[in-house]
Amino acid sequence: MDNRSFLVFERIVKGFSGVVVLNQVSFRVNRGEVHAIVGENGAGKSTLMKILAGVYPYGEYSGSVMFKGVEQHNRDTKQAEQAGISIIYQELELIPNMTVCENIFLGNEPETHGVIDYNCMRNESIKILQQLKSSISPDIPVEMLSVGQQQIVAIAKAISKNVEVIIFDEPTSALPDSDALILFDIIRSLKNDGITCLYISHKINRVLEISDTITVLRDGKSIITAPRREFDEHLIIKHMVGRDLTEQYPRKEHFPSNIVMEVRDLSVFDPAISKVLVDHVSFTVKKGEILGFAGLMGAGRTELFMGLFGAYERYEISGTVFIHGQKINIHKPYDAIKKGIGLVVEDRKERGLVMCMDIIRNSTLANIPNMVSWFRQIDSNKEIRETETYAKKLSLKYSGLEQLVQNLSGGNQQKVVIAKSLMTKPDVLILDEPTRGIDVKAKHDIYEIMNDLIDQGVAIVMISSELSEVIGMADRILVMCEGRLTGELSYTEATQERIMQYATASI
């Protein structure tokens, strides 16, 4: 077997209830390479990877997956893992109330005389986490970790098995740039060990940095597979979208007017570990302004806004919030929504969506009072109408509004989260990593929507770990480090270097 026949997809066809989502996909993956798979939201990347990983078993697709010269007939993921193929899912599949090391070895626990060997599990976990240059404790429950840290645990889980092929389905989407670099070190060292990495990402610059070979999928078809050197960013996007796409950030001139929201001395304290997560943060947001929040993972940005929104039960919140000059009390998210604050959360699966409900129910969830008819019943026609309007505005890709959210592609799930918040017609819209896992074209759609909202007088707060996005879209940028505000820049002053200086300065 030559290297080029290491892993071969041959004419893969897969559909869901009659809708074809993979249509004759064929390409080869060489042994020991980093092979990127790119394509718009819904192009079929995750579906193809789930076939390879045994999530969709042999018989549920046609065509063949040849691995080391043998056609794969996997019944389940366990069998694929035994063959040496392991996947890190786009949406992390960790058990929140179990500890880090329990998660790493879940279903794969080391045993001594038939009893789970906790010590061994702990020690091995520490080793793997060290290999990943992470200082996460193996003994804390995963729910206490940030999304970025959880991602590291998911990677640890995958490499704890004997892998030959490891699939990263958007591993960096939740990671700030600095952590993404750590991940790249990990991928490079896996490659040095001869492990083949399949890498899916919407961050094209990252793809160009790490990959040896690139495959582009569009509408379920394999468009091109070629060595990295034959591509540049523009060409990849062109293959993905099927046409040229100019200007990444549609910056428009905004004319911020009066202050809509003022936050004074907001602090968030975690009594369980006696830690101040957010330390006396004060700022204002104006009508018609996009206020960006930059910072590294763990800087406290999510905690600040979740605290402000009344979304925490286990933390102590102090400080004052004014809306249109009036002091307001927020004890739960409903209070915030009633006062005109909308929040699009970072982790869509945990807090943003009810996966087993359809698009309509999810979209209208935060807005039920407005969906009630004269007879105090939910007006389902209104629900459908509103959902359709936003689905169209956001170019949502779906088969029907009754489609369960769990069956949408990752990026389209994110659009439903945004639709849900927009329907509450907020005065202040807080977007926490709004374009995480979203393809270039859909990102552009979301930026355009932000511009429209600004024209309508909404104030937008955008938390983003993608520095170019903050610089590209925000009017003003606040930077946080270790729970505190460390800097403010207008977009004309902002550079990646200056933001990073503030983001790493503990002052």
Q: Where does this chain bind ligand ATP (CB under 6 A)?
A: 16, 21, 39, 41-47, 90, 397, 407-412, 439
**Residue 149 partner contact from Mg ion, ligand ATP, none using kind-dependent CB cut-offs of 5 to 8 Å:** none
Residue sitting closest to Mg ion (CB): 46
Q: Pick the closer one to ligand ATP by CB: 26 or 123.
A: 26
Structure tokens at 488: 């403010």
Q: Pick the closer one to ligand ATP by CB: 50 or 484.
A: 50
Q: Pick the closer one to ligand ATP by CB: 386 or 439.
A: 439
Nearest-approach distance from CB 409 to ligand ATP, in angstroms: 3
Contact 128, 136 (CB under 8 A): no
Q: Pick the closer one to ligand ATP by CB: 64 or 407.
A: 407
Nearest-approach distance from CB 302 to Mg ion, in angstroms: 23
Q: Where are the beta strands (DSSP E) in 354-475?
A: 428-432, 459-463
Contact 222, 27 (CB under 8 A): yes
- Pairing status of strand 7-16 against strand 19-29: antiparallel
Q: Pick the closer one to Mg ion by CB: 410 or 426.
A: 410
Q: Does 172 bind Mg ion (CB under 5 A)?
A: no
Q: Which of residues 85-104 bind Mg ion (CB under 5 A)?
A: 90
Q: Which of residues 416-475 bind Mg ion (CB under 5 A)?
A: none
Q: What does residue 444 show for φ and ψ, rounded to 5 degrees?
A: -55, -45
Q: Pick the closer one to ligand ATP by CB: 170 or 475.
A: 170
**Residue 216 partner contact from Mg ion, ligand ATP, none using kind-dependent CB cut-offs of 5 to 8 Å:** none
Nearest-approach distance from CB 169 to ligand ATP, in angstroms: 7
Q: Which of residues 378-407 bind Mg ion (CB under 5 A)?
A: none
**How many chain residues interact with Mg ion (CB under 5 A)?**
3
Structure tokens at 133: 């240059």
Contact 296, 467 (CB under 8 A): no
Q: Pick the closer one to Mg ion by CB: 41 or 421.
A: 41
- Pairing status of strand 290-295 against strand 459-463: parallel
Place of tokens 């903050």: 470
**Residue 21 partner contact from ligand ATP, Mg ion, none using kind-dependent CB cut-offs of 5 to 8 Å:** ligand ATP
Q: Is 194 helix (H, G, I), strand (E, B) or coil?
A: coil
**Residue 41 partner contact from ligand ATP, Mg ion, none using kind-dependent CB cut-offs of 5 to 8 Å:** ligand ATP
Task: Tell which residue, 173, 164, 155, 214, has the closest CA to residue 191.
Answer: 164
Q: Does 46 bind Mg ion (CB under 5 A)?
A: yes
**Residue 363 partner contact from Mg ion, ligand ATP, none using kind-dependent CB cut-offs of 5 to 8 Å:** none
Burial (0-12, 13-18, 19+ Cβ within 10 Å), 252: middle
Q: Given strand 341-344, what is the order of strands in its sheet?
A: 341-344, 428-432, 459-463, 290-295, 476-481, 484-490
Nearest-approach distance from CB 438 to ligand ATP, in angstroms: 7
CA–CA separation, 58 vs 50, rounded Å?
A: 11
CA geometry: angle 238, 242, 247, nearest 5 deg: 45
Q: Pick the closer one to ligand ATP by CB: 105 or 398.
A: 398
- Name the one range near Mg ion by CB under 5 A: 61-69, 174-182, 398-406, 409-417: 409-417
CA–CA separation, 157 vs 91, rounded Å?
A: 14
- Pairing status of strand 221-227 against strand 259-270: unpaired
**Residue 408 partner contact from ligand ATP, Mg ion, none using kind-dependent CB cut-offs of 5 to 8 Å:** ligand ATP
- Which residues bind to Mg ion, rule: CB under 5 A? 46, 90, 410
